[in-house]
Structure 1
């Protein structure tokens, strides 16, 4: 069964402490091209994640996005109030107001904006909050998303399998037409040789040895028996490889190259319009196969 390199999987968890979503997208690529977007507190897990994804997906252009959000009532304030600094600033402003006889109704607002009264929470405090959620608690989300990607790949692979086998069967059918027509092609070649033989033997400079060599060369050049046997074997091997359990995209690409080589040789040696038309049809089906193989794991 073939597996597609195209896949999509998403896993989500909502608790009273956080909302976490892992989304994975996969497209075709010759190698594993992995891109990760992680929250800050999971940066140190990048290598572990890469190893997990490499084992699960093997190949493809993969993008993983890990979104982690705390609910509004669980979010730390963007600033922290330094009560001692606020009280000290307010008292100093109050003394200054009494000294000059100024009104005191705006003292609190002024004290609140004094340096050191409002402070950003420390990075250590923010990290401590993130660490409340353990990696063991979040890892199953990654596993779930990967399972859904692989299920997507499996489903796409079933469609690809049916499609590609259909193209191979078309080539097999056209090869049978070549075999069916081959006796007529050989008879046509024989008639042309006999005609040339009659013309050459009547020539006064006719050389029987040279003629026999030319005839043998000509017959060997037009013989496609070996190419038909090899092409039949390659097509059968292709179908067998489609059914193996492990990823077979690269292997199928190599086999399709061999299939193309035999088809081209048949076309170049046939010297027959009917066979040439059938060869064109086989090439068209092979191009469809190659296009789909690009997306096979």
Structure 2
């Protein structure tokens, strides 16, 4: 079944030292455009997250929001910058000797200077963090896909209803088409009689030729056949799975081309009205297709 490009998913992981909250929302887009907003310390996982999402979602503008909460600070490592401390100490000794000072240089004095300590995050296996993050991303993606499928079912139902309506209108056009030829012949004869006041014999062969030329110019059989075929394809594609939005978009363009040709070939008012109805339904389907993956 087809899927919509509109959806939302949420995933959460709660561990002993940290938790992840992942929210994903998507809207229609021509391509697969993924935007991720997350803490800087998780940036190393950006490509993995995109690859994970692309394996399940083929089209749409997808925005990913990742929140990280850490419970403990015991993963911090504080280290003395011994090289800098030695330089501070040597410099103080030079000052003391130069100025002949008697004050002692002690630990309290040295700790007043900046940069004598570095604070680092304790190294943790990257795969451990990724497994926790991946769990919440997968949950969010699954929720997104489910919502897109539910929306897709509604879109498919609407398209099928409109397809059936188009089929019925095209069927009416097909039934109306032969009648137009007879009406044209009758009007032609009536016009000739009016102009000649019914004083001359009408050449039936000439009338048949005129009607034949008109019938050839207004023949819409090929367009009708192709339209029926396109309608059938439209119904079949809406039952397919995967990214079929572009295929449907192309099909609607072809159907528009056929109905426009029918409109240009026929000068009949009734058929013109029906052509407008078909074009209106096709435009509504086209708008729905813009949101199909």
**Aligned pairs for 1:42-121 within 5 A:** 42-71=42-71, 73-74=72-73, 114-116=112-114, 121=119
Structure 2 CA distance for aligned equivalents of residues 135 and 169 of structure 1 = 49
Matched, 1:268 2:264: yes
Structure 1 CA distance for aligned equivalents of residues 66 and 184 of structure 2 = 69
**Aligned pairs for 1:17-32 within 5 A:** 17-32=17-32
Matched, 1:221 2:195: no
Cα deviation, 1:227-255, whole Å, max 9, x if unaligned, reads 22221111111111111223211111111
Counterpart in the other structure of 2:147 = 152
Deviation at 1:117, TM superposition (A): 8.6
Structure 1 CA distance for aligned equivalents of residues 115 and 218 of structure 2 = 95
Could you tell me the TM-score, scaled by structure 1's length?
A: 0.77
Cα gap change, 1:193 to 1:120, in 2 (>3 Å): farther
Count the aligned residue pairs.
Answer: 275
Deviation at 1:58, TM superposition (A): 0.9
Cα gap change, 1:203 to 1:233, in 2 (>3 Å): farther
Deviation at 1:127, TM superposition (A): 5.6
Contact 1:41–1:130, Cα closer than 8 Å, also in 2? no
Deviation at 1:55, TM superposition (A): 1.6
Counterpart in the other structure of 2:8 = 8
Structure 2 CA distance for aligned equivalents of residues 113 and 76 of structure 1 = 23
Contact 2:75–2:122, Cα closer than 8 Å, also in 1? no
Matched, 1:179 2:178: no
Q: Which runs of 5+ in 2 are unaligned?
A: 86-91, 93-101, 103-107
Cα gap change, 1:167 to 1:237, in 2 (>3 Å): same
Structure 2 CA distance for aligned equivalents of residues 30 and 116 of structure 1 = 53
RMSD value, Cα: 3.6
**Aligned pairs for 1:243-254 within 5 A:** 243-254=239-250
| Structure 1 or 2: more helix by fraction | 1
Structure 1 CA distance for aligned equivalents of residues 60 and 69 of structure 2 = 29
Contact 1:18–1:68, Cα closer than 8 Å, also in 2? yes
